[in-house]
Structure 1
Amino acid sequence: MKGSSHSSDDHHSRPRTFSETLMEENMDYAQDVILKWDVYAHKHHNFSSIFAHDRKEAKTFIQAVTALQTAMHYYVRLSSNSDKIIRAQKLMQTAMKRLEKEFYVTLSANRKNLDSESVSSRSSKASTRSSISDFYEDEASEEEDKKTTPSRGENTISESESASDIAMADLKSIADCMIASGYGKECVKIYKIIRKSIIDETLYYLGAENLSTSQIQKMEWNVLEQKIKTWLHAVKIGVKTLFSGERTLCDVVFESSEQIAQSCFTEISTDAAVKLFSFPENFARSKKILSPEKMFRALDLYEAISDLWPEIESIFSHESLSAVRSAAVAALLKLGDAVRVMLSQFEAAIQKDSSKSPSGGGVHPLTRYVMNFLVFLGDYNGAVADIVADWPSNARTPLPESYFSSPTSDGGADPSSAEITARLAWLILVLLCKLDGKAVLYGDVSLSYLFLANNLNYVVSKVRNSNLGLLMGPDWIWKHRSKVKQYLANYERMGWTKVISSLPENPTAEISPQEVRECFRGFNSSFEETYKKQSTWIIPDPKTRDEVKISLAKKILPGYRIFYQKYRWQYNREMGVESIVRYAPEDLSNYLSDLFFAVSGTSCKSSSYETSLDSSMTSRGR
């Protein structure tokens, strides 16, 4: 027996026990296997990984180290045979050097197989492989399955998935062995260096830059916008794939020690994750973004972090990773502050607007700008609701009860949206009040009412046909639609009363020829004057335009037709004499049908802020 050569120090005459004999055999067995793979004995040759080339030998090596551990514990417990303990320690050092090298080579050679996407997608299966021997058993069973499987295409595990599983199982078995042998520190050091470099490299290739506030401040806006788009892509992959996969890999490789797994993940990920979330915070701190049109980029960043928050909270849940959670929260808070400032600026911009109104009473550029802005804002209702909810109570603008009723009354709205609904309703009210002031500037009261009708109708249409409709609710839409009808009724009354009143109240009643002549002349004059004045007035909405024309025709044509048919024969056109009866009912109908179409020169040019908003919406792709 090999062990006899190492037992000369046993000077006791008593026979050896079974345990002593077994431990001696364990030591000899371990020595044969470990020295065979001594890295120093083969230092002049290219390193060849046991795990990559001979899986049975790898299993044997792990078993030899386990046997050596058992022997060492036995001798230490007996506190005797110091030469055996020294011998065992030297063998263990040799074994650990080999495993340290194997761990490094396996990690380095499997960068592709251990990419975060593969690891995160295979995490549940990989974590069930508690040891390399388990994997060998699975591998053996798969070989048996292949014998009864018609083709490779029917295998449930792809080659990449299998390679990922193998690499994780190998790393786990090495880590388990080194940690159990008291060499976990060496293993962890290698792991941290390699995996940290992979995280940093991945984020670099994703384009996630660590830009300071001053750098952002100096950057051209179109360049900064591209940086934001790049970051939005990077943070999604970073959280859902990169950090998630690295967390899984740490948990699998260091399953035998939760503390080591947590320590490794903390060290390799904290700096990179904190830097990743510093970009939106620094962006929010920059004065460059403080204009309403740039609000949507801040909301993009806020929305991205909010959507990822469940994953952030789960992946970085440990107390040692609180810096990452704090960085994400700090970014949300700063972005929220910036959005609230920009909302206040937006409201102030509406109130300060001094642009002229369209000459034909059409939709004002301010109305288009504000409503397009609010429709766009409504698409971010979740993020905006969170931000507005954090608005200090003394900064919230109260709404008159008569103006707004909660859309929750129909049971179809989310109560949590009340704050954003109130804020949007207030901004619309600020716009409408501003339009009231602009309407007064028209010299004609009827045109003022037509202007208010056109603009309010545009507002209601934008609300009804967007996400704002869900927020504002059907009651709000109905009330303001009724107000549009009221404005139009006032326009018709003020704009066409002179024409309508020029005809007798009872067109069938008998009147004198002189009275008939005066009625026709009065009607001709008032109609021509009104038509000429309103020929440049517009109603942009086709449905509303048709409704107004039909309404006017109903008010004018029936009475005129009766009067015309009763008295036109008395005033046949004579040569050289002005005709008293100038218009047949069909002529009036044609004239009315030509009204309210937009013509060149009736609209104001788009304001600079409207152009900026169009640019923001285009770049967003909405």
Structure 2
Amino acid sequence: MPSKGMRNVFFKSSSPSPSRTAMIPPASPSRTFSESLMDENIEIAESLITKWDPNNVSSFANVTSLFHADPHEAKQYLNSVRDLQAAMQHLVIENSSSEKIVAAQNLMQLAMKRLEKEFYQILSVNRANLDPESVSVRSSRSSAARSSTSDFEESDESEEDEFRFGTELDDSLPDVERVSMIAMADLKAIADCMISSGYGRECVKIYKIIRKSIVDESLYHLGVERQISLSHLQKMDWEMVELKIKTWLNAVKVAVKTVFYGERILCDHVFSASDSIRESCFSEISKEAALILFGFPETVAKCKKTPEKMFRTLDLYEAISDLLPEIQSIFSYESTSTVRSQAINSLIKLGDAVRTMLMDFETAIQKDPAKATVPGGGVHPLTRYVMNYISLLADYSGALADIVADWPLNLQTPLPESYFGSPSELDDSPVSVRFAWLVLVLLCKLDGKAELYKDVALSYLFLANNLQYVVAKVRSSSLKLFLGDDWVNKHELKVKQYASNYERMGWSKVISSLPEDPTAEISLDRARDCYKKFGAAFEEAYKKQSSWVVPDPKLRDEIKVSVERKLSAAYGNFYEKNRGGSGTFVKFAPDDLGNYLSDLFYGNGSTGSVSSHLRGRRGH
């Protein structure tokens, strides 16, 4: 089987061009064998090039695409151009003053005009088929199309339908992908030919114009706006800025994974013959759009920092951080280093903004100006706000871990070991310590707010309620992963201690109204006096505490059961021992105590006396 080079040398044109005699000087009667071969190459090239001369208005070639009309002839056309190039090089070496060089050069210019037109047509007609999404999907299915006229192997005509410039087409591929592969193969073949012939600049110019418009259009449809200035962004309401951030978050993943990725694949494939050309093409096509895209987060980061902006800032940080490896891979060229720098700079600025907001958040907790007490000793709004905020922060632990890794918490004294638990289970990572510190700042602030209550029992109930809320939030959120089970267990015990202190301070007067030994023998007068004191003390405690609240159902039941157990143990024994002869002095039977305690901690605020309620119940 003859080699592909010899195949071109001995290929005979079936119909010589009418203009051949006008372009090719007559052959000398004494030619060498090498000269004869070169003449043959030039003649073959002339027959095809003049046939598809774009300036020939009388020819169908002016309105027909060579690559669309006859792919096999398109392959011959490219081979003839390469052979023409080889002949020209030979002529320059053998006889630089030969008239044939001028004729060959004219032929080459005609060929380049044809290929330039074909290149433009393929790019324009296949605008939809060569969109970044189609290209990126195609790349994920298979390796880039292997198209080069130098890769052609001799094959039977029956096999020709399965190949397109060296690219095997799988019949199972969707039509869009098949068309995309064919277009990419044709573009690469033309680019290879024009670049090797010294006409790369012409096809590069066309490629840049068309593909840049596609990239810009793709980002426009994704909602990516042109550069927004800091002053313009700062004048917007936060709701409007947040809407723009959401749009950007939805766009950036598609832009990186589809638009820029697909464009890089296409550019690298079409201009694989030249490293410098494919770099300059991709840079000019994508650089401007990429800088606008990755510059937006930096602009947001420079806006005024407030706590409510924290989570959108972290969303931006996570998005760039997750995509950074792909950004660095896609924009790996030296000429696109500014794109990589912009993405990294946005990360840095966003991290700085998050650190600033964390410091402001901590300061806001410490300086909370609210001096009024929460009615009934319930959960303070600051507690709800801070714990909801921190629990949401815990969902961004990955981003926060990066942001605070080199930002140590400057404390005059380290967090107490007992605050976490046993040293072996202490997670002392920077992000865990930061969460623990913020919770501790809140708890210290709550201690100060508890002192605002004039009733000591109510202050302890306030602490129990708020710490219970804190613990519940930690237990039900990602915070538990950072603070640990020991932290939760220790603070649950502290809740019980606060509740116990409340019981002691809130009901001590009621219990102390009874004898130390409720089963001891006492006089009738003493018994009546005890009943009287107990009834008054219980009524006073009940009336005062009827407006107190315990929002957590579990804690509420535990406190009521514990109080009832203590009162029943003392009063029940006393009642059984001294019930006879007391008459109207006995306001309560032991069972009544539980009934009244069951009404507490809902914040209903009783307005009547216990005895009046009791009479109403008995009458009912």
State the TM bucket, normalised to the shorter chain.
Answer: 0.7 to 0.9
Cα drift, residue 186 of structure 1: 1.1
Q: In the aligned structure 1, how far is the partner of 2:466 from the partner of 2:449?
A: 11
Q: In the aligned structure 2, how far is the partner of 1:172 from the partner of 1:397?
A: 66
Cα drift, residue 77 of structure 1: 2.9
Say yes or no: does 1:251 pair with 2:256: no
**Structure 2 counterpart of 1:326, from 338, 341, 366:** 341
What code does the residue aligned with 1:381 have? S
Say yes or no: does 1:29 pair with 2:44: yes
Q: In the aligned structure 2, how far is the partner of 1:315 from the partner of 1:138?
A: 40
Say yes or no: does 1:421 pair with 2:437: no
What code does the residue aligned with 2:311 have? F
Matched residue, 2:249: 232
**Structure 2 counterpart of 1:583, from 588, 591, 595:** 588
Matched residue, 2:91: 75
Whether contact under 8 Å (2:291, 2:342) holds in the other structure is yes
Over residues 486-529 of structure 1, what are the superposed CA-to-partner deviations in whole Å (9 max), with x where a residue is unaligned? Answer: 11111111111122222333333222212221221221111111
Matched residue, 1:276: 293
Q: In the aligned structure 2, how far is the partner of 1:235 from the partner of 1:397?
A: 42
TM-score, normalised on structure 1? Answer: 0.87
Cα drift, residue 69 of structure 1: 2.1
Q: In the aligned structure 2, how far is the partner of 1:552 from the partner of 1:137?
A: 97
**Structure 2 counterpart of 1:456, from 467, 478, 483:** 467
Matched residue, 1:148: none
Change (3 A) 1:235 1:82: same
Matched residue, 2:28: 10
Q: In the aligned structure 2, how far is the partner of 1:568 from the partner of 1:175?
A: 110
SS in 2 for 1:164: helix
Q: In the aligned structure 2, how far is the partner of 1:453 from the partner of 1:173?
A: 78
Matched residue, 1:358: 374
**Structure 2 counterpart of 1:494, from 488, 505, 514:** 505
Q: How many residues align?
A: 577
Matched residue, 1:187: 203
Q: What's the RMSD between the two structures over aligned residues?
A: 2.7
Q: In the aligned structure 1, how far is the partner of 2:361 from the partner of 2:72?
A: 71
**Structure 1 counterpart of 2:302, from 285, 296, 308:** 285
Whether contact under 8 Å (1:538, 1:596) holds in the other structure is yes
Change (3 A) 1:395 1:563: closer
Change (3 A) 1:396 1:205: farther
Matched residue, 1:610: none
**Structure 1 counterpart of 2:525, from 508, 514, 535:** 514
Whether contact under 8 Å (2:394, 2:478) holds in the other structure is yes
**Larger mean Cα displacement after TM superposition, 393-402 or 75-84:** 393-402
Whether contact under 8 Å (2:546, 2:603) holds in the other structure is no
**Structure 2 counterpart of 1:300, from 315, 321, 337:** 315
Q: In the aligned structure 2, how far is the partner of 1:21 from the partner of 1:293?
A: 82
SS in 2 for 1:122: helix
Matched residue, 1:597: 602
Change (3 A) 1:53 1:505: farther
Whether contact under 8 Å (1:407, 1:471) holds in the other structure is no
Matched residue, 1:171: 187
Alignment of 1:99-138 (within 5 A): 99-123=115-139, 125=142, 127-131=144-148
Say yes or no: does 1:50 pair with 2:66: yes
Whether contact under 8 Å (1:397, 1:423) holds in the other structure is no
Q: In the aligned structure 1, how far is the partner of 2:335 from the partner of 2:156?
A: 36
Over residues 325-361 of structure 1, what are the superposed CA-to-partner deviations in whole Å (9 max), with x where a residue is unaligned? Answer: 1111111111112222211211121122122221200
Matched residue, 2:580: 569
Over residues 63-105 of structure 1, what are the superposed CA-to-partner deviations in whole Å (9 max), with x where a residue is unaligned? Answer: 2212212222322232356222222111111111111111111
Say yes or no: does 1:433 pair with 2:450: no
Q: In the aligned structure 2, how far is the partner of 1:61 from the partner of 1:568?
A: 120
SS in 1 for 2:41: helix
Matched residue, 2:8: none
Cα drift, residue 270 of structure 1: 1.2
Matched residue, 1:335: 350
SS in 2 for 1:211: coil
Whether contact under 8 Å (1:26, 1:71) holds in the other structure is yes
Q: In the aligned structure 2, how far is the partner of 1:113 from the partner of 1:335?
A: 38
Change (3 A) 1:599 1:119: farther
What code does the residue aligned with 2:524 have? P
Whether contact under 8 Å (2:139, 2:265) holds in the other structure is yes
Whether contact under 8 Å (1:571, 1:581) holds in the other structure is yes
SS in 2 for 1:286: coil
Cα drift, residue 260 of structure 1: 1.5
SS in 2 for 1:547: helix
SS in 1 for 2:297: helix
Q: In the aligned structure 2, how far is the partner of 1:257 from the partner of 1:139?
A: 32
What code does the residue aligned with 1:103 have? F
Whether contact under 8 Å (1:251, 1:261) holds in the other structure is yes
What code does the residue aligned with 1:168 have? M
Over residues 230-285 of structure 1, what are the superposed CA-to-partner deviations in whole Å (9 max), with x where a residue is unaligned? Answer: 11112111111111111111111111222211221111111111111121111111
Whether contact under 8 Å (1:538, 1:597) holds in the other structure is yes
Change (3 A) 1:116 1:453: same
Over residues 443-496 of structure 1, what are the superposed CA-to-partner deviations in whole Å (9 max), with x where a residue is unaligned? Answer: 011111110110011011111111111121122212212211111111111111
SS in 1 for 2:28: coil
Over residues 190-209 of structure 1, what are the superposed CA-to-partner deviations in whole Å (9 max), with x where a residue is unaligned? Answer: 11111111111211222212
What code does the residue aligned with 1:529 have? E
TM-score, normalised on structure 2? Answer: 0.87
Whether contact under 8 Å (2:527, 2:582) holds in the other structure is no
Q: In the aligned structure 2, how far is the partner of 1:551 from the partner of 1:536?
A: 19
Q: In the aligned structure 2, how far is the partner of 1:544 from the partner of 1:48?
A: 85
Matched residue, 1:605: none
Change (3 A) 1:135 1:54: farther
Q: In the aligned structure 1, how far is the partner of 2:143 from the partner of 2:412?
A: 55
Say yes or no: does 1:65 pair with 2:77: no
Change (3 A) 1:406 1:580: closer
Matched residue, 1:607: none
| Structure 2: segments with no counterpart, 5+ residues | 1-11, 164-169, 607-620
Whether contact under 8 Å (2:417, 2:423) holds in the other structure is no
Q: In the aligned structure 2, how far is the partner of 1:253 from the partner of 1:398?
A: 63
Work out which structure has the larger RCO, using CA pairs closer than 8 Å and 6 or more positions apart in sequence: 1
Change (3 A) 1:542 1:136: farther
Change (3 A) 1:473 1:529: same
Q: In the aligned structure 1, how far is the partner of 2:474 from the partner of 2:153?
A: 60
Cα drift, residue 436 of structure 1: 0.8
Over residues 391-443 of structure 1, what are the superposed CA-to-partner deviations in whole Å (9 max), with x where a residue is unaligned? Answer: 3x4856754223544899449x6x7xx11211121111111111111100100
Whether contact under 8 Å (2:549, 2:602) holds in the other structure is yes
Q: In the aligned structure 2, how far is the partner of 1:407 from the partner of 1:332?
A: 36
Percent of matched pairs sharing the same residue:
57
